[in-house]
Amino acid sequence: MDWRDALRHGLQVLAFCCVVAVFTTAIWAGSSYGTQLVHSAAIGLVIWAVIEFGRLLVPAHLCHRDPEGRGHGWPKGWRGVVLTAVGITAGYFGGNGLARALLGEAGGTQRGDFTLGLLVTIAAGAVASFYFFTHGKQAALQAGMAAAERDAAEARLKLLEAQLEPHMLFNTLANLRVLVGSDPARAQRMLDHLIAYLRATLGASRATLHPLADEFARLKDYLELMAVRMGPRLRYELDFDPALAVVPVPPLLLQPLVENAIRHGLEPEVRGGDIRVSARTQMAGDVTMLALQVRNSGRPLAPGAAAGDAGGGRAFGLAQVRERLQTLYGPRSTLELVADGAGYTCANIVFPLDFSAP
């Protein structure tokens, strides 16, 4: 049971009771608003307590789901009607008794006419119960729709991964074919790294998030593959604080950016270049953010690419990363591709830091 939701419901009931007390004061003109408020609040809170905690006695499979997708929402069918009737009855008699005790009224006195008082209680209790029922049902439907949207988004991300993985694999196999004839030793090393990379990729593909340390380990396997092919033309550095090792990040988040850096930055240059991948924290107001950067030398970034209009494989890689970030973090995440003015191209990713388990 979510105690915060229960407390919120109780406060809403109290607010509703304040309104009901205005009407009952008008009905029983000889009574003050304060007296009517005590009676109304006592009746309302007893009704709330009976229904709020009574639904926990109903088996979960006989209840609607709550907004978090769990059972023990409003009881289904006649069970909800019975629980409401029990709550209203207990509220009228128990709440009136509690109010009389608090106000020091004589035990035999009644607040106005018994029949009219009971009718007012039934009407107010039914209205409040209907509000909570419809509000809870609407919230549960919205939660279900949000879950369906997340599932659809995850399916799109898996499709993007499926498109990206063969792209890298085909390039690697083509390079292996050349190396087998010209340099069998390098081909053997490349094949070993490919096996390690595919083994890690297969495990990560089943998860939406994995630890940052695993993401960097996959990058190391990938860069070792590229280093076998490019030789001394590729120099790389992986740098992140060990304290961030367990931070969950989307699998295959950084590789498209590293692949772009090699393909569009280093490969066109005879001397190649260097790549540095780093992770650090930064503050955005009172929120701690995780900042990831892929920084490479080589061919300068085209102006259109910096504005997000890159074409070809670069555009696909950026689209894949942006889609993933938007799905998981929404507008709280950013991806920027910039030239730092020192001959380097930087792909910067920022999103809220979360140490919780994936």
Query: What would the mean pLDDT of 158-185 be, rounded to a whole number?
Result: 73
Percent of the chain at pLDDT above 90? 20
**Separation CA 330–CA 351 (nearest Å):** 9
pLDDT-derived band of residue 358, with 50, 70 and 90 as boundaries? Answer: very low
Question: For 252-277, what is each residue's pLDDT tens digit?
Answer: 889 889 988 998 899 899 899 999 99
**Separation CA 347–CA 282 (nearest Å):** 16
**Separation CA 219–CA 292 (nearest Å):** 13
Give pTM, 2 decimals. 0.56
pLDDT, position 309: 46
Cβ within 8 Å of residue 298, ≥6 positions away: 261, 264, 265, 266, 267, 268, 269, 272, 273, 345
Residue type at 141?
L
Question: For 138-161, what is each residue's pLDDT tens digit?
Answer: 777 777 777 777 677 667 666 655
Residue 240 reports pLDDT greater than 90: yes
Q: Which domains does the chain have, with CATH numbers?
A: 3-146 (no CATH), 183-352 (3.30.565.10)
pLDDT, position 179: 81
- 247 HSE (CA, 13 A, CB side): 21
Q: Is 186 exposed, middle or buried (0-12, 13-18, 19+ CB in 10 A)?
A: middle
Query: What would the mean pLDDT of 329-356 be, rounded to a whole number?
Result: 87
Question: For 182-207, what is each residue's pLDDT tens digit?
Answer: 888 888 888 888 888 777 776 665 67
Residue 306 reports pLDDT greater than 70: no
Question: For 54-113, what is each residue's pLDDT tens digit?
Answer: 888 888 777 776 655 555 677 777 888 888 899 889 988 988 888 888 888 765 545 456
pLDDT, position 254: 92
Computed over every residue of the chain, the mean pLDDT equals 81
Residue 308 reports pLDDT greater than 50: no
